[in-house]
Structure 1
Amino acid sequence: MKLGVALPLGDVGGEPGTLREFAQAAEAEGYDDLMLPDHVLGVNAASRPGWDPARATSANLFHDPFVAFGFLAACTTRIGFSTQVLVLPQRQTVLVAKQAACLDVLCHGRFRLGIGVGWNEVEFAGLNEDFRNRGRRSEEQVQVLRALWAEPHVTFRGRWHRIEDAGLNPLPPRRRIPIWFGGHVDATLRRIAKWGDGWMMLAHPPGEEARRAFDTLRRHVEAEGRDPASVGIEVWVSTGSGAEEDWREEFRFWKSAGVTHVTLNNSYGRYHHRRIAGRSLVEHLDAMRRYRAAVADLL
């Protein structure tokens, strides 16, 4: 199993020295991946009575993942980078393909692209993209991404994209970048089964509901003629509740359920997830070290 950790920018801030220190500490501890979420615009909650306080606003800090990971690629040597998740349909597909390819070159193939369809209509309006067709459009976007990464010249004619014998330079070192999907509706699982390298699952705590969701994904993968073992599954954990033995028990469950990637996210507090009480860099580094030490022999 792979163990990653989320960069807690909302707590510790986004200064270059802070990012570098956290990333280098995670790499030194043996973490496999660094994770960043994605939002471009945050709403002014003061002008929107009734706005869900758990939803992102302009008060929440989000570095652009491609920029932040490009910086951290020069500060690290081994640890990977993962978006969880990049809101793909609010962006121009060819530009995302270019940005991802350049990042993958600069970090020597350490990048994994996690994508989702988003929920914030305000962002789509600001970026001049259609919120209503975002799910269907994302399917074609994935096809465009894979084509542009694989070949020096591409001709593509789809419903939303048209490329006439053109291509990217540079191309990713492996001529592909792993694409993982976030989301929990059946349409998402079917997209993963058809095009995805993995599923980033947040909604279900350890238990039979999670196992059933994983089994549903595997059935969809088999129906597409693919090997279910070729599609990874990722979950988030936290040190916000319990102690070392509790964390080990949860980790054992996820391992028995076939989870391939676990990401420690100590600053997320939705669904069943609990964030840690501390907000300082020192407290986050300590929690990160304690969790890795607790589960190291189970990896």
Structure 2
Amino acid sequence: MKIGALVFLTEQSGNPGAIAREAENLGFESFFVAEHMVVPSTYTTHYPRSRDGKVPEFYARLIDPFVALAIAADATSRIKIGTAICLLPQRDVIETAKVTASIDLYSKGRLILGVGAGWFREEAQVMGVDFAHRWQHLRESVEALRMLWSGDDVSYAGEFVKFPPVKLGPKPVQKPGPPILLGAHDPKYALKRVARYADGWCPGGLSVEKARECIPQIKSMAKEFGRDPDKLEFSVLLMGGDGPTADAMKQYAEAGVSRLVVAASAVSEDGVKVVRGLESIVECAAKL
């Protein structure tokens, strides 16, 4: 079982390079960072993970993920680095293609791009996203990214993503590009989306039972879309708690999950110290 660490980075967390290097030294397979652009001053969206339904204040202070990953790439040599998740519809796809390809180049092919459409209606609206159609926007962005990463004189004509023939470099080291994992949580809709256009799935809090149920469905639908189901990778993001037990890791692996990403804490004021606190999870996985 591969073990990743997710750290919520703010200006108080310390240097992303030092945190990622500590994760690498401790044996983590991957290092992930989160993204939110802004928190509107007024909103009605209910946040289910807080007692009062309010969006955590630190979401407004999260470091730009690609700045953090560029620093992490420079400070490490082996650990994979990624987003969990990038709110892709809120970003310009051409700019995103360039920054992700640049990070993949300088990290020598270590980038994992976890993407999602977002759940925070007011944030999406501030960023110019048609919230009701954000999933279509996400799919178009993923398709456009892959074209920009792999070809020249490429164009895209979707409903939300549009650009004329362009040349864009650099190209990623990974071919045809960094793996794109879908961070959607709702199995009712996520399964088909993963099967149709993602390289893998990284839902939050997926139970072993749900993994056993959903992964075969995704693989079956992938075949229907003419894709190779064996090339899909399944990860699970675990939020809070003491981390998975050895037995839970075995059960996840038997269900088809190859990576568990453990969230360090709600917000990391000392990222190095918090990552060190997760060392026992890596040690447990290494014994399996």
TM superposition score category, shorter chain reference: 0.7 to 0.9
What's the offset of the Cα at 1:155?
2.6
Tell me whether 1:30 sits opposite 2:31 in the alignment: no
Q: Which structure is higher in RCO with an 8 Å CA cutoff and minimum separation 6? A: 2
Give the distance between the partners of 1:76 and 1:281, measured in 2 at CA: 16
What's the offset of the Cα at 1:72?
1.2
Confirm or deny: 8 A CA contact 2:17 2:74 kept in the other structure.
no
SS at match of 2:82: strand
Q: Which residue of 2 aligns with 1:200?
A: 202
Give the distance between the partners of 1:89 and 1:14, measured in 2 at CA: 27
Q: How many residues align?
A: 281
Moved more, 252-261 or 124-133: 124-133
Confirm or deny: 8 A CA contact 1:91 1:129 kept in the other structure.
no
Percent identity over paired residues: 27
TM-score, with length taken from structure 2: 0.87
Cα deviations across residues 158-194 of structure 1 (Å, max 9, x unaligned)? 3333332212111112341211101124332212112
| Distance change (3 Å), C-alpha of 1:49 and 1:84 | closer
The runs of at least 4 consecutive aligned structure 1 residues that moved more than 3 Å come to 47-53, 55-61, 278-283
Task: Please point out which of 275, 279, 282 is paired with 1:285.
Answer: 275
Q: Which residue of 2 aligns with 1:271?
A: none
| Distance change (3 Å), C-alpha of 1:163 and 1:48 | closer
Tell me whether 1:297 sits opposite 2:260 in the alignment: no
What is the aligned-residue RMSD (CA, Å)? 2.5
What's the offset of the Cα at 1:265?
1.6
What's the offset of the Cα at 1:239?
7.5
Q: Which residue of 2 aligns with 1:164?
A: 164
Give the distance between the partners of 1:133 and 1:48, measured in 2 at CA: 19
Q: Which residue of 2 aligns with 1:84?
A: 84
Q: Which residue of 2 aligns with 1:186?
A: 188
What's the offset of the Cα at 1:8?
4.2
Q: Which runs of 5+ in 1 are unaligned?
A: 269-274
TM-score, with length taken from structure 1: 0.84
Give the distance between the partners of 1:13 and 1:96, measured in 2 at CA: 26
What's the offset of the Cα at 1:292?
1.1
Moved more, 118-127 or 65-74: 118-127
| Distance change (3 Å), C-alpha of 1:100 and 1:247 | same
Q: Which residue of 1 aligns with 2:71?
A: 71
Cα deviations across residues 7-44 of structure 1 (Å, max 9, x unaligned)? 2436x93332xx33321111112211101111000234
Letter in 1 for 2:122: V
What's the offset of the Cα at 1:211?
1.0
